[in-house]
Each structure stands twice: as structure tokens, then as C-alpha cells.
Amino acid sequence: MIAHKRLAAFCSTLVFAATATGVAQEKSPPNTWAAVELDWKQPLAKVAKDAQWQAGDGYSDNVLREKTGEVLIRTGITSKSLGLSPGFYTNTTVAWNVATDKVRVVEIANWGGGSYSGAKLLPSFAKHPTPTPRHTYDGICYVPNEDAVYMMLGANGRMVGRNADEAAKRQHSIDNSESTWIWRKGVIGNTLTVILCRLWIRRWLPQRT
């Protein structure tokens, strides 16, 4: 079965969703459940030696990226050396290829802190700004003709409680205000991910790994 127990429910559900699109037809007939073996240690080792999965509490959804046959899973990674501590928020997008059962980390939010507050902008934020860790709930979808993922609203208010630094508080306010920002420089790949918050668009292109 799945090595990472806390993601087991997500993965089994998504196998079912993938077969409906024809991506995993050879492995599982439509409308059936299938056990999968995924190596979660290998992609984690590429992040940092002390990185650990912090899978959250299930309040972030996942979508199938039809262009690549990958399920984009919202989860979390914690690492003391990298300053990552999302708590039960999700700060990471992982791609699982349902045809090959290969897993890779697509992007980690360049924020310290999470559901237990302590918001901090990591040094990499200056070159690659990203939205805060959050609960996405089910406000997430994939648009095939744009090859885009849309996430609407969600919850990130706990980020700026105790021990949050001032720069992070200001950026958190921008992330939840009526402003729009776009980051493009130095991006590898062609996936456009969009955050809509309070009906205003946040656009950024994830760094590819």
C-alpha cells in the first residue's frame, strides 16, 4: 500500500478520479479502487536532509493535471534547516504521475511559519514570491486548455499570530488584499498557477524541480 499513511486517503481517492479520465486505464479499470506503491522518501531527500512530511489535517484538496497525467497533491514539508514549519497548513505541491507512480516535489512556499503562527519570509522569497501556506479546502480546480490550477480563498489567518515578523505581516496583508502581483523571472516550465483571494487574482509560476 502507500508508504505515507497520512496521504493514503488522498491517493486512493485520486486513483479513482484518474481512471475516469483514462490516465490509468492500464492499471485499473474505470470505477474501481487500486492500491499503489509510492516512494515518498526519494523526493523528500532532494529537499533537505532533515526534511519531513507534514501532511496537514485534510483540509486541502488535490487535482489531476491532465496534460502530464500527474495528480497535484497539496501537502506539507517541515525542515529546521530550511526554516519550514507549516503545522497543519499545506505549504507544498507534490506531483504524482499515476502512470509511472513517480512522485516529485513541484514547489514549496517560500514562507516560514504556518498554522502555529511564526510567519517569516524566507530568503528565497525575494526572487520567487509565493502565497502563504494555507488550507485550500475544496476551492481548487484544473483548467485543461490553460494548463492552470486555480485555488480560491482558503484559510491562512493563523500565519500572523504570535512571533510573526513585520515583513511577513505586511506580505500577508498583500496576499489577502485587493492587489494583484505577477512573478515570471527565472521560471522553468509552463504551468501557470493562480490564487484568487477575495475575488482578486494572484498569479505566479511555480519553480519546477
Q: Which residues of the chain have pLDDT under 50?
A: 1-25, 179-209
Q: What pLDDT is attached to residue 154?
A: 79
Q: What pLDDT is attached to residue 27?
A: 58
Q: What pLDDT is attached to residue 208?
A: 40
Q: What pLDDT is attached to residue 18?
A: 37
Give the number of other CB atoms < 10 A from CB of residue 132: 27
Q: What pLDDT is attached to residue 137?
A: 83
Using left for φ > 0, alpha for ψ between -120 and 50, and beta otherwise, residue 47 falls in alpha
Distance (Å, whole) CA 122 – CA 47: 15
Q: What pLDDT is attached to residue 204?
A: 41
3-state secondary structure of 125: helix
3-state secondary structure of 136: coil
Q: What pLDDT is attached to residue 28?
A: 65
Report whether 168 contacts 175 (CB < 8 A): no
Q: What pLDDT is attached to residue 26?
A: 55
Task: Tell me the pLDDT tens digit for each residue of 109-132.
Answer: 999 999 999 999 999 999 888 888
| Of 46, 49, 127, 126, residue with least CA distance to 92 | 46
Q: What pLDDT is attached to residue 61?
A: 86
Q: Where do the structural domains in the chain lie, given as residue ranges?
A: 5-204
Q: What pLDDT is attached to residue 194?
A: 40
pTM over 0.75: no
Q: What pLDDT is attached to residue 45?
A: 92
